């Protein structure tokens, strides 16, 4: 991602900013496209992961659909040229205004997350004399084996409809004349790297679709959600997620009936490796027990470490790109070699949690050094805020 020429270029630019490598993005999109088309699978991009305009344009041009979680995302999907027949709308708290907008836009499908929501969509569709396509988001109670902050498919989570409520759902679907049942939807969590988790999901989906079939419902769409993880520890040597294994699991374990479509909603795996947050060292604070690198970027630019205890690789681009990083088993290298020192890497925001990582082994660093925080293409720029009345973070592109 960073050759000397790129680093020289980035040195000239005011920090902080998100740097996007569009070649990395394209490679990832291509790998996903190739792996999914082998099985005729439909992939919708989960727009919330990154709605930067160059990123969205690239994804739209690849022909992916859009998975939206707000009315404004539906609107943006249309503006960016996504086909309305490839737009789905999920979310546990869709407002009337958002539902009306999606009805007016004639999107492909609502992923409905409660019986109450079904009644509201039916009523609003009736007022417009329209029929709303519905997929039922079901909580399959499958453990995603990921960080509990980003698990969504357990009984205790707010998302989706629990299986014991499905009798109610079926009754509601029968009684609501302006709803058209299309299929079932699942999304069990994010940053999933264990393919066994998806195998377990397939088993649950097979049971649940049989249940719907017994009730006399034709399940046309199986939407299995997203959540495929990326390698935060090896952003260069493992820049592309394992799309091949991912789609293969579904091909092996999901019972797909004749005329059924399988839909996916990937966010992170498509975009995460394509960006790094670039910052400068403002101050080096040497304490008795701790040394701090104070950067000019903080939780206002990238909140994942503070919000989810997320790991990001951090590199000092001004010191030969020597990185001080820990291994995946979380053991910091014990031997601190020549010119290597441990720092807590923190931001400028007035919160104690404004820390990217603690005890990071780094080459001895100085004021003005350029720092790259890697793998920030997903849930990075989109979560930026202006807390402390900070400037909105900028973006810079490889070409
Ligand atoms: C966020 C989200 C996704 C995408 O999750 P990733 O982990 O980024 O792949 C897919 N579907 C729904 C409903 C979501 O909310």
- Walk along the chain (399 residues) and give the pLDDT tens digit of each residue: 999 999 999 999 999 999 999 999 999 999 999 999 999 999 999 999 999 999 999 999 999 999 999 999 999 999 999 999 999 999 999 999 999 999 999 999 999 999 999 999 999 999 999 999 999 999 998 888 877 777 777 777 788 899 999 999 999 999 999 999 999 999 999 999 999 999 999 999 999 999 999 999 999 999 999 999 999 999 999 999 999 999 999 999 999 999 999 999 999 999 999 999 999 999 999 988 899 999 999 999 999 999 999 999 999 999 975 555 544 444 443 345 567 899 999 999 999 999 999 999 999 999 999 999 999 999 999 999 999 999 999 999 998
Please calculate the CA angle 33-39-42 and round it to the nearest 5 degrees: 55
Query: Could you tell me where in the chain the CATH 3.20.20.10 domains are found?
Result: 22-272
| Phi (first) and psi of residue 51, to 5 degrees | -115, 30
- CB within 8 A of 328, min separation 6: which ones? 233
Query: Could you tell me where in the chain the CATH 2.40.37.10 domains are found?
Result: 275-397
**Dihedral (CA of 293, 296, 302, 303) sign:** positive
Closest ligand 1 atom, residue 90 Cα: 13
Cβ–ligand 1 distance for 279 under 6 Å, the answer no
The radius of gyration of the chain's CA atoms, rounded to the nearest angstrom, is: 23
| pLDDT for res 325 | 53
| pLDDT for res 330 | 42
CA of 266 to the centre of ligand 1 (A): 6
| pLDDT for res 327 | 44
Query: Best of 187, 221, 247, 263 to mutate for ligand 1, by most ligand atoms within 8 A of CB?
Result: 187
The domain 22-272 is classified under which CATH number: 3.20.20.10, 1.10.30.50, 3.90.79.10, 2.160.10.10? 3.20.20.10
| pLDDT for res 239 | 97
CA of 269 to the centre of ligand 1 (A): 10
Taking a C-beta distance cutoff of 8 angstroms, is the pair 162, 155 a contact? yes
CA of 300 to the centre of ligand 1 (A): 22
| pLDDT for res 338 | 64
Cβ–ligand 1 distance for 67 under 6 Å, the answer yes
CA of 226 to the centre of ligand 1 (A): 5
| pLDDT for res 324 | 52
Question: 177-208: string of b/e by CB count within 10 Å (b at 16+)?
Answer: ebbebbbbbbbbbbbbeebebbebbbebbeeb
Cβ–ligand 1 distance for 136 under 6 Å, the answer no
The domain 275-397 is classified under which CATH number: 3.10.180.10, 1.10.10.10, 3.90.1300.10, 2.40.37.10? 2.40.37.10
Query: Best of 190, 379, 383 to mutate for ligand 1, by most ligand atoms within 8 A of CB?
Result: 190
| pLDDT for res 332 | 40
CA of 265 to the centre of ligand 1 (A): 6
- CB within 8 A of 89, min separation 6: which ones? 68, 69, 74, 98, 102, 107, 109, 110, 111
CA of 108 to the centre of ligand 1 (A): 18
The reported pTM is 0.93
Closest ligand 1 atom, residue 152 Cα: 15
CA of 66 to the centre of ligand 1 (A): 11
Closest residue to atom 1 of ligand 1, CA basis: 46
Cβ–ligand 1 distance for 66 under 6 Å, the answer no
CA of 126 to the centre of ligand 1 (A): 30
Closest ligand 1 atom, residue 266 Cα: 9
Q: Tell me the two tokens of residue 298.
A: 């903080």
| pLDDT for res 299 | 98
CA of 268 to the centre of ligand 1 (A): 8
Only one residue has tokens 């020192």, namely 341
| DSSP-based three-state secondary structure for 60 | helix
Cβ–ligand 1 distance for 32 under 6 Å, the answer no
CA of 111 to the centre of ligand 1 (A): 12
Cβ–ligand 1 distance for 90 under 6 Å, the answer yes
Cβ–ligand 1 distance for 49 under 6 Å, the answer yes
User: What does the alpha-carbon distance between residue 223 and residue 221 come to, in Å, rounded to a whole number?
Assistant: 6
| pLDDT for res 322 | 55
């Amino acid at each position: 991602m960073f050759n000397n020429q790129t680093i020289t270029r980035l040195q000239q630019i005011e920090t902080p900013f998100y740097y996007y490598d569009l070649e990395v993005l394209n490679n990832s999109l291509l790998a996903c496209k190739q792996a999914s088309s082998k099985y005729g699978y439909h992939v919708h991009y989960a727009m919330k992961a990154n709605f930067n305009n160059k990123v969205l344009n690239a994804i739209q041009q690849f022909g992916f659909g859009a998975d939206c979680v707000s009315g404004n995302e539906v609107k943006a999907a249309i503006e960016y040229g996504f086909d309305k027949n490839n737009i789905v709308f999920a979310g546990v708290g869709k407002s009337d205004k958002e539902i009306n907008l999606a009805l007016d836009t004639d999107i492909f499908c609502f992923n409905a997350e409660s019986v109450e929501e079904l009644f509201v969509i039916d009523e609003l569709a009736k007022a417009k004399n329209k029929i709303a396509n519905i997929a039922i988001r079901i909580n399959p109670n499958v453990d995603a084996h990921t960080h509990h902050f980003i698990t969504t498919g357990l009984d205790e989570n707010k998302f989706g409809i629990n299986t014991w409520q499905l009798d109610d759902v079926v009754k509601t679907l029968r009684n609501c004349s302006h709803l058209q049942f299309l299929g079932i939807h699942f999304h069990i969590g994010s940053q999933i790297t264990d393919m066994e988790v998806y195998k377990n999901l397939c088993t649950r989906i097979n049971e649940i679709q049989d249940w719907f079939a017994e009730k006399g419902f034709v399940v046309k769409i199986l939407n299995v959600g997203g959540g495929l993880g990326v390698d935060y520890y090896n952003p260069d040597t493992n820049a592309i997620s394992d799309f091949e294994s991912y789609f293969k699991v579904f091909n092996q374990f999901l019972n797909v009936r004749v005329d059924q479509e399988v839909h996916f909603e990937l966010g992170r795996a498509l975009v995460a490796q394509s960006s790094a947050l670039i910052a400068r060292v403002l101050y080096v604070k040497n304490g008795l027990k701790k040394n701090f690198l104070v950067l000019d970027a903080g939780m206002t630019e990238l909140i994942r470490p503070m919000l989810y205890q997320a790991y990001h690789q951090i590199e000092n681009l001004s010191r030969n790109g020597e990185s001080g990083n820990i291994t995946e088993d979380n053991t910091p290298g014990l031997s601190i070699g020549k010119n290597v020192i441990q720092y807590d890497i923190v931001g400028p925001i007035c919160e104690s949690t404004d820390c990217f990582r603690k005890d990071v082994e780094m080459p001895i660093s100085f004021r003005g050094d350029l720092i790259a925080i890697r793998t920030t293409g997903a849930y990075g720029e989109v979560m930026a805020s202006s807390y402390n009345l900070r400037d909105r973070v900028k973006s810079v592109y490889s070409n």
